Structure formats: structure tokens, C-alpha cells
């Protein structure tokens, strides 16, 4: 989306002030970095959502991606009651709220080049196509969400559903998305995560037919070396084209409070990859 493209990301700079107030809460991160990924030499971006905290009428807004062309923005009027929230406008797709690919947390610029794998058709369309401006409704509770969007210029309707639950030592999340446009297709994904040794293992299987991409598997292991450094090893492989997969090693070096130096490198699509960023979590 090109309208008001930088607004939600710039607003994250005010997150510390906003969260000092009781009327607004945020969940996500913002980073400033440099990478070897094409068109992402220098980038400012992140992934975050902000919502008003009171019951009744309110607002929600957010963004995913980097300032410029490669991002999606969200904004909606909301009505909340207890742990539930109804949103109308352009809310975040339910499909993107569960079983989210971890590659976006390890190397955001590379994730933005792979939004056809594990992300909503709405997110992939907003980042890769022109005039892809969705609007719709969303209902969310603690462990589930459902959303319905329409994209006028592409005459496309997207219905998404996601949820998560605990099963013994495992955290299971799943999401399904039905897309009705020129063709009727679906996206689906299943993710399981659990503690393993000093860290946590996560495996995600994604079926990406509505995004015109092959089924893929992402495996990731995140663990702490000490109280200042955490590592993530990640591999994402499309079954039909394994040569287009990506392998990454990421390091989070915590500096002070919620600020860290993020370093990541690896190999994807036949090329070496590198990224460095200062990151602030909120």
C-alpha cells in the first residue's frame, strides 16, 4: 500500500511514550538496518500492532515490512469487550496472526522477498502487486481469530481463520485462508513449537496455493548462549523447488532494556545473505 506508507512505522518511534500512557498498548518491534537483499540496502521497518486499551469503541493500527513499497499497513475502528475485539476497516488478516513464519523475525528483508510462503494472500498481494487495497472485518479472541476482506481493484474476497492451543509440551497453531478471485484457491499452515534443551524448536508446514507458491517447510531452533546473546538457526525449503530454499543463522545481542543488535547471515536462491540492524521491541 502506498497511501500513508510510513505513518504506522514512524509512529513506532513514539511507542515508548505511548506505552507510558494507559490508553494504548503495542506488541511488536521496529528496526533500522542494512542488508545485502535486493532493494533493501538500508531499511527502516518492523512488525507491530497497537490497540486502545479500554472496552467499547477504539482503534487499532499497525504495519509489517519496511518503509517504501515492501510493506502492508493496517488500520481499523474497533469494539472490544473483555478479551474479544471486533475490527472494521483494514485489520490484520487472521491468517497472519497464527503460525507466523519465523523468517521475518530473523531476517526481515529476506522475509519480504518470500511473502508468498506462509503469509496471507492479502499481505503478499499488498507487497507484490499494485492497487491491492483490502478492507474488511475481523473478530479476535485470546486464541482464535477470523477475518473477511475484499480487494475491489482485483475483485478478490479473502476469508481467514486461525487459532492456537496447548497440547502437552507442545504449542500448536494453525490457520486456513480461502481466496475467491479469478480462481478459487486456499492457503493453509500448521505450526508446532516446544521447549528443547536450552531453547525452543518450531516447525511450520505451509500450503501456499492461493499465493501461487509451492508447499514449504520451515524449521527453526532458538536458544540462549548467555543472558546477553540468543541464536536462531532456520531453514525454509519449498518441496517442489528445494534449490530456492534459504538457510539462516541469526544472533540477537541484547544491549539495554528492549534494544538489541541483530545480526544474521546465510544462503538463499544461490546467493549469500547478510543483515545487521538495531532493534527495539515493545
Beta strands in the chain (DSSP E): 24-35, 42-52, 56-66, 71-81, 84-90, 134-141, 144-151, 156-167, 170-180, 184-196, 199-208, 216-224, 229-238, 246-256, 259-268, 271-281
**CATH for 244:** 2.40.160.10
pLDDT of residue 15 exceeding 90: no
Q: How confident is the model at residue 4 (pLDDT cuts 50, 70, 90)?
A: very low
pLDDT of residue 7 exceeding 50: no
Domain assignment of residue 193, yes or no: yes
Q: What pLDDT score was predicted for residue 21?
A: 58
Domain assignment of residue 17, yes or no: yes
Q: What is the tens place of the pLDDT at every residue in 160-210?
A: 999 999 999 999 999 999 999 888 999 999 999 999 999 999 999 999 999
Domain that holds residue 184: 7-281
Q: What pLDDT score was predicted for residue 13?
A: 52
How far from 122 is each of 73, 150, 186, 189, 201, CA to CA, in Å?
11, 9, 12, 15, 28
Domain assignment of residue 2, yes or no: no
* Cell numbers that stand for 183 in this block: 480462481
Domain assignment of residue 123, yes or no: yes
Q: What pLDDT score was predicted for residue 78?
A: 97
Q: What pLDDT score was predicted for residue 1?
A: 44
pLDDT of residue 119 exceeding 80: yes
Domain assignment of residue 26, yes or no: yes
Domain count, the chain: 1
Burial class (CB in 10 A: 0-12, 13-18, 19+), 191: buried
Q: What is the tens place of the pLDDT at every residue in 60-74?
A: 999 999 998 799 999
Arithmetic mean of pLDDT over the chain: 92
Task: Let me know the angle formed at the C-alpha of 220 by 46 and 34, rounded to the nearest 5 degrees.
Answer: 35
Q: What is the tens place of the pLDDT at every residue in 42-55?
A: 999 999 999 999 99
Contact 124, 113 (CB under 8 A): no
Domain assignment of residue 246, yes or no: yes
Contact 54, 23 (CB under 8 A): yes
Q: What is the tens place of the pLDDT at every residue in 222-250?
A: 999 999 999 999 999 999 999 999 999 99
Amino acid at each position: 500500500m502506498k497511501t500513508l506508507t510510513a505513518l504506522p512505522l514512524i509512529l513506532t518511534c513514539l511507542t515508548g511514550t505511548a506505552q507510558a500512557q494507559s490508553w494504548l498498548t503495542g506488541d511488536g518491534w521496529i528496526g533500522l538496518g542494512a542488508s545485502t537483499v535486493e532493494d533493501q540496502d538500508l531499511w527502516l521497518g518492523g512488525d507491530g500492532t497497537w490497540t486502545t486499551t479500554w472496552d467499547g469503541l477504539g482503534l487499532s493500527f499497525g504495519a509489517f515490512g519496511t518503509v517504501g513499497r515492501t510493506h502492508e499497513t493496517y488500520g481499523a475502528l474497533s469494539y472490544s469487550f473483555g478479551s474479544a475485539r471486533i475490527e472494521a476497516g483494514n485489520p490484520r488478516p487472521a491468517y497472519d496472526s497464527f503460525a507466523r513464519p519465523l523468517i521475518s523475525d530473523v531476517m526481515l528483508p529476506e522475509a519480504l522477498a518470500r511473502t508468498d510462503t506462509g503469509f496471507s494472500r492479502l499481505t503478499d498481494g499488498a507487497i507484490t502487486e499494485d492497487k491491492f487495497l483490502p478492507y474488511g472485518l475481523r473478530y479476535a479472541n485470546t486464541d482464535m481469530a477470523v477475518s473477511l476482506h475484499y480487494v475491489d481493484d482485483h475483485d478478490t474476497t479473502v476469508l481467514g481463520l486461525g487459532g492456537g492451543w496447548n497440547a502437552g509440551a507442545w504449542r500448536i497453531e494453525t490457520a486456513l485462508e480461502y481466496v475467491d478471485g479469478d480462481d478459487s484457491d486456499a492457503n493453509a499452515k500448521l505450526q508446532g513449537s516446544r521447549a528443547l534443551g536450552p531453547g525452543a524448536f518450531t516447525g511450520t508446514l505451509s500450503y501456499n496455493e492461493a499465493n501461487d507458491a509451492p508447499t514449504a517447510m520451515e524449521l527453526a531452533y532458538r536458544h540462549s548462549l548467555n543472558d546477553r546473546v540468543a541464536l536462531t538457526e532456520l531453514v525454509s525449503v519449498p518441496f517442489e523447488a528445494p534449490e530456492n530454499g534459504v538457510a539462516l543463522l541469526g544472533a540477537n545481542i541484547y544491549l539495554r532494556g528492549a534494544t538489541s543488535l541483530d545480526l544474521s547471515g546465510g544462503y538463499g536462491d544461490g546467493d549469500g545473505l547478510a543483515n545487521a540492524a538495531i532493534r527495539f521491541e515493545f
